[in-house]
Structure 1
Amino acid sequence: MTAQTDRRPRLLILDDDPLVGCTMQFIAEDLGLETCFVSTAMAFFAQLEAWQPTHIALDLIMPDMDGVQVMKRLAGDRCRARIIITSGVGSRVLDAAGRSAAEHGLNIAGVLSKPFSTGDLRQLLAGAPLGPPHAAPATSPARPSAAPPHPELGMAELRRGLDADELLVVYQPKIDCTDARLTGFEALVRWLHPDYGPIAPDRFVPLAEASGLIAALTERVLELALQWFAPICGEGTGLAGGRPLSLSVNLSAKAFNDLDFVDRLAQRCLQLQLAPERLILELTETSAMDDPVASLGLITRLRMKGFHLSIDDFGTGFSSMLQLVRLPFSELKVDKSFVMTALQSEESRTVVKSIVDLGRSLGLRTVAEGVETAEVFDFLRKIGCDQAQGYHIARPMTGDATLRWMREHAAAR
């Protein structure tokens, strides 16, 4: 369908309650929208094709075709109308329906729990920017399109990349939620392939684990990151502003089987005159809990040497509270899937606050990743989260770019 941009915005309402439909019509027309109200899915899709609305108000509970089925068909038709989901099923179901629709590429303006106020509907209709009703969904910067497949990537290719120094470490700053001061960085690895360009770690780290190259990959990332970080912590550099900074590095569960890993890491920090307390090793929640016996040995030795341990992506696994208390972690990282949806989902806000409260009660530092707006950062500050990282603060950067960012951040503060 060809989008029409030279006409008034149009609202198509699908609801089996005439009173609700007429009320929506009255409010929308008062705001200057053309409106059409239908009570069956058949009439809805016929009008959708002929009328090309810019906005849709959709009731989830319908007798002939429920709202989830309607939205699935809308996604298949690449509908780009702004969709308002309405229902009396409860906020949790509404939130879930909204997330499901957004993940299918639909343009969700918001959700309204019945009975809703006229002001809430006016706000969604007046405040939502208009877009072409039937166009290909735009790619969200927070959810990039899937990378093209790399069928040639295998153990031999990864080994070649390691030998050719094609791995690059980038750094994402973390700041204190109370005063926005810099607290440290997370080191993130990228593979700059000569033919395919940048390759994300979720494509080659599993390959490294499966092929036995994860130890070499981990050692390379640690070496590059520590060489960059150690001079920043040196006395007299002025880069840290007199405050102790930390460096977080992801650690594979395969490291549990390397008995000499802890000693090698401690020795390298000694050579670089870097206190082990400055280094935070991040383990995913699932990997830390899959083999708690092996985890306990490694984590205990690391903590005895002075290193800090963090549970990454906390909230996405199924760990027991017993194991969390049993393993001597020093930090919890709130998974970005909850942080990024905190403003839209009451459920996500509850999860984030519960993790922050849990960390505080256990004496653990809490770090939220995926902070992309000032509003989310303000929410984290209010609930007592300790640190934050994400695009609102800074994107992952090369070492040189990170040093420039540090000077600019210090000057701005």
Structure 2
Amino acid sequence: MSNEPNGAAKGRLLILDDDPSVGRTIALVAESIGFEVRALTCPEEFLDAVDHWLPTHIALDLVMPQMDGVEVMRLLAQRGCRAHVIISSGVGGRVLDSARRAAAAQGLHIVDVLAKPFSPAALKRLLSSRTGGAEDGSAGSETSDQEDFVFGERELRVALEREQFHLVYQPIIHCRTRRPAGFEALVRWHPAPGRIVTPDRFIPLAESANLIGSLTDQVIEQALRWFSGRQSEAPGALTLAINLSAKVLADAGLADRVAGQCAALGVEPGRIVFELTESSAMDDPVTSLALLTRLRMKGFQLSIDDFGTGFSSMVQLVRLPFSEMKVDRSFVSAVTTSAEARTVTKSIVDLGQSLGLRVVAEGVEDADTLDFISGVGCDFAQGYLISRPLNAEAAAAWLRRPVFAPAED
């Protein structure tokens, strides 16, 4: 196992597992697809390697005699660890899911959970799906160049003035036919050539600095201009999803502005889907209800994102005029390993269909997951199996090539 840096490596994988044979198995799989690897059994040595070897990826056993994985993850979070973490264990799927949620809540980047025993092929698919390069205009790895970029309100204002925010588009397909159904527009900040800052870093600042309205206007304008040239490039009616922050739901003029832009560009309002999380509409329920109702009256679609992850999902689903729901990736990504995730995902799909809503599954990253959500009647799928987010040119090209063959009738 290599311990020295290698510029050609996909990344550095650090393994902590009290069973050396398991560590060796993971290491062999990772090395076969281009990783540098270290496998350790001692938590103290592992944490020292985190500080000094700076791994890009971590494979962590949950149950160990010296220090359990939950405590290790707490210490990783204290260190501000930015590595992609794979949790593995032989404990039940529900415990694994709970550990993943706990780690994510502390700010760790959780790739997935891997139940033991696992096959080398399953591990290879997991590592490969998360480490692919930026090909054909995909967003690729977006965290490697941004961690040392420190910014504040002033830099964000300059970025808005210079229009440094650009969109990438993640494709969505019909589950049954495997044909293109649309895209989700995702904003990225390019403060300098070759540097990308992802929205989890700048959206909170934009909201607190009252800049989210200006940013939203730029995003919508850019998205609609791109989409105006795509409407006739695929069979069926393509849609474009755009995320809305809770902070813009008090903007009474938003519905009229967007409707005017659509009219000027020849975009059908029914093709535009505005996404918001259930918490987005809770800041000011009366005001948000008014704006969302006006958007629906003008023909726009509304989607409740991350459905099932909060306490008020059901209340929001009934109270607000949604036309679509998105099954949260935390359920979808676990359907191949967790009976509970399969049950929850199927129940959400059934609920959506009983209410006459379109249902989109996020986080579809392998063929088995796509087969499952198709089998339970989900309408649409989105995730790395279909495509990573693509820049404008690559997304247009994606529509012109047969990415997935139509499913057999």
TM score, norm. by length of structure 1? 0.70
Residue number in structure 2 paired with 1:148: 147
Q: Taking every aligned residue pair, what percent have the same amino acid on both sides?
A: 47
1:45-95 deviation per Cα after TM superposition (whole angstroms, max 9, x unaligned): 7xx99xxxxxxxx99598xx686589779999xxxxx998446xx553366
Residue number in structure 2 paired with 1:317: 310
How many Å apart are 1:163 and its aligned residue?
Answer: 1.6
Amino acid in structure 1 at the alignment position of 2:191: H
Amino acid in structure 2 at the alignment position of 1:227: R
Q: Is the contact made by 1:371 and 1:391 (CA closer than 8 Å) also made in structure 2?
A: yes
CA 155–353 in structure 1, closer or farther in 2 if over 3 Å, else same:
same
Residue number in structure 1 paired with 2:301: 308
Q: Which of these residues, 323, 343, 346, is aligned with residue 339 of structure 2? A: 346
Residue number in structure 2 paired with 1:256: 249
Question: What does 1:89-168 align with in structure 2 at a 5 Å threshold?
Answer: 92-93=94-95, 96=98, 110-111=115-116, 124=118, 140-141=130-131, 147-151=146-150, 153-168=151-166
CA 70–139 in structure 1, closer or farther in 2 if over 3 Å, else same:
farther
1:299-340 deviation per Cα after TM superposition (whole angstroms, max 9, x unaligned): 111101110000112122221523321211001011222222
Residue number in structure 2 paired with 1:190: 188
Q: Distance in 2 between matches of 1:219 and 1:92?
A: 41
Question: What does 1:207-356 align with in structure 2 at a 5 Å threshold?
Answer: 207-233=205-231, 237=232, 239-241=233-235, 243-319=236-312, 321-356=314-349
Q: Distance in 2 between matches of 1:253 and 1:312?
A: 13
- 1:400 maps to 2:393: yes
Aligned-residue RMSD, C-alpha: 4.2
Q: Which of these residues, 191, 200, 203, is aligned with residue 202 of structure 1? A: 200
Q: Distance in 1 between matches of 2:317 and 2:221?
A: 29
Q: Is the contact made by 2:276 and 2:305 (CA closer than 8 Å) also made in structure 1?
A: yes
1:343-385 deviation per Cα after TM superposition (whole angstroms, max 9, x unaligned): 2222322222221122112111110111111111111101111
Q: Distance in 2 between matches of 1:157 and 1:198?
A: 14
Q: Which of these residues, 384, 396, 399, is aligned with residue 391 of structure 1? A: 384
Q: Distance in 2 between matches of 1:129 and 1:173?
A: 25
Q: Is the contact made by 1:249 and 1:281 (CA closer than 8 Å) also made in structure 2?
A: yes
TM score, norm. by length of structure 2? 0.70
**Which structure has the higher relative contact order (CA within 8 Å, separation 6+)?**
2
Unaligned runs of 5+ in 2: 4-16, 21-40, 47-60, 78-85, 133-140
CA 12–193 in structure 1, closer or farther in 2 if over 3 Å, else same:
closer
How many Å apart are 1:213 and its aligned residue?
Answer: 1.1
Q: Distance in 1 between matches of 2:110 and 2:200?
A: 23
Q: Secondary structure, in 3 states, of the residue corresponding to 1:367?
A: strand
Q: Distance in 2 between matches of 1:73 and 1:188?
A: 30
When Rg is computed on C-alpha atoms for both structures, the one with the higher figure is 1
Amino acid in structure 2 at the alignment position of 1:197: R
Q: Is the contact made by 1:75 and 1:105 (CA closer than 8 Å) also made in structure 2?
A: no
